[in-house]
Amino acid sequence: MAEQLGQSLRLSVEEQAKANTALSKFGSKRDLAASLQMSPTTITNFFAGRLVQRKKFHAICRRLKLDWQPEPSKQLQTSISNIDVLVQQVRSHIHNHIQKLHGTMPLWGVDHWVPLGELFVDVNILKEVSSSRKSELDDLWQDFIQNPSYCNLDRIGLGAKQERVPGLQALEKGTNLMVLGKPGSGKTTYLQRIVTECNAGNLQVQRVPVLIRLREFIDDGKPFQYSLERYISHCWNILETDAKLIFSQGRSLVLLDGLDEVTGPPGKQIAKEIRQFARTYPNSQLIMTCRVQSPESRFERFDYIEVANFNEPQVKAFAEHWFKVIVGDEPLGLEKAQVFLGQLFQKENKPIQELAITPILLSLTCAVFYQTGKFYSKRSKLYEEGLELLMKTWNKSREIEQDKIYRILSVEQKIELLSYLAVKKLEQQQYVLFEQEEIEGYISEFLNISRRDSHSVLRAIESQHGLLIERSQKVWSFSHLTFQELLAAKYFIANSTCPRTLEKLLSNIFQANGLEVFASISELSKNIDTLVKLMKYQIDHLLANDFESQALLDWAEKKSCSVLTDYDLVALRAFYFVLPLERAYETNFETAFKLARSLEPNFSQIHSSINTDNEILIDFNLGTICYLTLEFTSYPNCSFSRDIDLQPYCQLNIDSALKAQLQILQSQKPVRNGNDGEKFVDWWKTTGRSWGKQVRTKIAYYHNLNFDWKFEEEQIEKLNFYHDANKLLVDCLNIGNVSLEVTAEIMKTLLLPIIEIEKYQYEKTE
């Protein structure tokens, strides 16, 4: 029997089974929706036993050839004055219905709904809403560049860690809450968690819960003139007078999902009814979700809180639940989850970690890994799927109404607009944050519209897919650096037929630290010969006017030619370029020499080798001595916790004259022990600097290892950037979208001083 609620109808449990049988003969739900010219949501609601408008309900039944009759009302007939008894009766009456409606959730990449309790990880709440903060853009930028990482983007301007409150704990004060959050951040699932926990008696047991999806309320609430009192009394199947008694006594928990999804005249009417309900029943608790904070979302007597991104423990917990549910076997699911997490948290996958901080994008990441057993070899493919998920699939499934200008743009045009914004910012030294006036100007320029209209488009982008978000009042950025870099890469590819434009953009972005952009370009393009040649030109000229840096490149090239080994010269140049720099000793070997390792994988074995005859290993050990003498003699007034012992290095297969010199220098240094500690420190203060200089001089003379470079901090940063840019260039070559001729040409002059590169180019043209 179908159940009638006002002007809406829903199937009984028995009728749902019949409807599913009829559907199997007809086709898919999508086919049924298309044939009836109805939204997929309406069809889904019909088969799930949710309220559907009478007219649409009848049409679906006729198409499925279902016989139906209105079910006799089971409305609770009561005039009970004891509110406690009434609350318990209503809770008991609606218990199964709530569990059926809200006890499962969709999971991206999975063709069935999964139990909420098995998957949901309780979200945390930020007490301060990001767009309410007042911070100057320059202050935010300085905050970001202290740690310019993917994860730090969301923390700019926050100072100390904001208080994160478990989502269910946020209800304890009993105040009305407006829960803000990016698309896919878990707002809907959060409300489902609240209503099912309340329904199970684990939360707010003194209240009667109801969860209303406002996008469905546009149709379902229309017969009730959008009156919450009337609509909720029908949902609870009780007299309106009893419902009002529950409301007035503060015994209701009303959850409203998706305020941003109701617009136009119905949206205004619904917002008006919500405000009136909150004023009339101040003791009842309302919790509402909305994507963004806007004038339309301002409600009196509501606390505004924000869904926090997953932290690392929550990512781990979500992934474990995800794999257990999908695999269907807890031990095997946990095993697969550990493999997934092991790869996710590897350093090279930091950009992927940046995506995996919201439920929707973490689900995408899990699904890709589950299907392939690894992340895509081309990470940009994962980023593209994430972008498509936010721009197409997600909003389409939720039927979000869009701004009139933004709505008429195709998905391709929207991507072109966002790509333009990404490049305009990456061209700048400050490559992350937009002033609101600045970004509205770019939108106006690209779409040829007024500034007023560009403001509406900006808000639409924020609301529809959250790719642009307001970090502080009138300060904007892309939601993820990964998406900004991917979109910039798409812009490059679209403009790759114009070398002059491409060269200008490359020059600007190289100065703006946009290296990851080029990795995406190389993965997305079929042939990148022009790109990598332009990249090589820009990299070579990063240090072209720095005499000291050119001298280092010249020394590294000459030193490489003097070493007797089977390794390629270019790999040796990469090794010796890094050897005198601090990075060689302040990080692990694999990280410090990652360029050399990408050119010669066997370099990893050098560090662990015990072969004292290996010339490269000998140079690394002698380099370690030189670095330690520089470090310790730079701080003569410090009480050193460790000593420099030259004796072990004398066991290496080094020149006998150098060995003798090191032994003499070792004998000049006092032995440091508990009794002679002060004597040792005094010696360091008076003689340590000159002693260290002698050590380096002897090593430089006998092994041509020069460590007395006078680099300023800015030069060191540039040298490190130069190294990493060359590493990226080699990665682009290894992807395989570059011709063999261009690859050979680049490798021949990689890491050479500019004078040698120009000489090679001249000889090539002769």
More reliable by pLDDT, 553 or 678: 553
Q: Report the sign of the C-alpha dihedral through residues 59, 60, 64, 66, in that order.
A: negative
pLDDT of residue 609: 53
* pLDDT band at residue 156 under the 50/70/90 scheme: low
How open is the CA angle 264-266-268, to the nearest 5 degrees? 70
* Mean pLDDT along residues 283-294: 85
pLDDT of residue 506: 67
Instruction: Look up the CATH number of the domain holding residue 105.
Output: 3.40.50.300
Query: What average pLDDT does the structure give for the chain?
Result: 82
Same-domain check for residues 291 and 256? yes
* pLDDT band at residue 397 under the 50/70/90 scheme: low
Residue 541 forms part of a structural domain: no
Query: Looking at the predicted structure, is the pLDDT value of residue 651 above 60?
Result: yes
Same-domain check for residues 255 and 113? yes
Closest CA to 517 of 732, 346, 353, 718: 732
What is the spatial distance between Cα 478 and Cα 494, in angstroms, rounded to a whole number? 20
pLDDT of residue 88: 93
Query: Looking at the predicted structure, is the pLDDT value of residue 349 above 50?
Result: yes
Query: Looking at the predicted structure, is the pLDDT value of residue 75 above 70?
Result: no
* Neighbour tally for 728: CB within 10 Å: 19
Same-domain check for residues 597 and 689? yes
Question: Which class for 695: exposed (0-12), middle (13-18), buried (19 or more C-beta within 10 A)?
Answer: buried
pLDDT of residue 112: 73
Query: Looking at the predicted structure, is the pLDDT value of residue 118 above 60?
Result: no
Which H or E run includes 178?
Answer: strand 176-180
Phi, psi at 621, each rounded to 5°: -65, -40
Residue 331 forms part of a structural domain: yes
Same-domain check for residues 254 and 106? yes
Same-domain check for residues 59 and 23? yes
Domain that holds residue 11: 3-64
pTM of the model: 0.62
Residue 247 forms part of a structural domain: yes
Per-residue b or e along 148-182, where b marks 16 or more CB atoms closer than 10 Å to that residue's CB: eebebbbebbbeeebeebebbebbeeeebbbbbbb
pLDDT of residue 746: 94
Which of 694, 716, 738 terminates a domain? The answer is: 716
Residue 77 forms part of a structural domain: no
Which of 58-67, 392-401, 446-455, 673-682 shows the highest mean pLDDT?
446-455
Which of 377, 394, 411 terminates a domain? The answer is: 394
Residue 148 forms part of a structural domain: no
Same-domain check for residues 352 and 443? no
Contacts of 632-640 with CB under 8 Å at 24 or more apart are 632/684, 632/688, 632/692, 633/684, 633/688, 633/689, 633/691, 633/692, 633/693, 636/684, 636/685, 636/688, 636/689, 637/685, 639/681, 640/681, 640/684
Q: Look-up: residue for tokens 């300085």?
A: 142
Same-domain check for residues 491 and 573? no
Which of 490, 524, 558 terminates a domain? The answer is: 524
Same-domain check for residues 101 and 222? yes
Same-domain check for residues 185 and 209? yes
Residue 147 forms part of a structural domain: no
Overall number of domains in the chain: 5
CA distance readout (Å), 524 to 369, 380, 422, 497: 20, 7, 17, 15
Same-domain check for residues 319 and 376? yes
* pLDDT tens-digit series, residues 178-209: 988 877 788 898 999 999 999 999 999 999 99
Same-domain check for residues 666 and 565? yes
Residue 150 forms part of a structural domain: no
pLDDT of residue 195: 95
Query: DSSP string covering 220-273, please?
Result: HTGGGTT-HHHHHHHHHTB-HHHHHHHHHTT-EEEEEE-GGG--HHHHHHHHHH
Query: Looking at the predicted structure, is the pLDDT value of residue 227 above 90?
Result: yes
Which of 197-211, 286-300, 320-334, 642-656 shows the highest mean pLDDT?
197-211
* Least confident window among 230-239, 328-337, 510-519: 510-519
Closest CA to 22 of 61, 59, 68: 61
How open is the CA angle 562-564-568, to the nearest 5 degrees? 90
* Mean pLDDT along residues 147-169: 63
CA distance readout (Å), 11 to 46, 96, 106, 212, 728: 7, 15, 21, 18, 59
What whole-number percentage of the chain has pLDDT above 70? 82
Q: Could you tell me how many residues make up the chain?
A: 766
Same-domain check for residues 220 and 91? yes
Residue 739 forms part of a structural domain: no
Q: Which two tokens stand for residue 570?
A: 């270019």
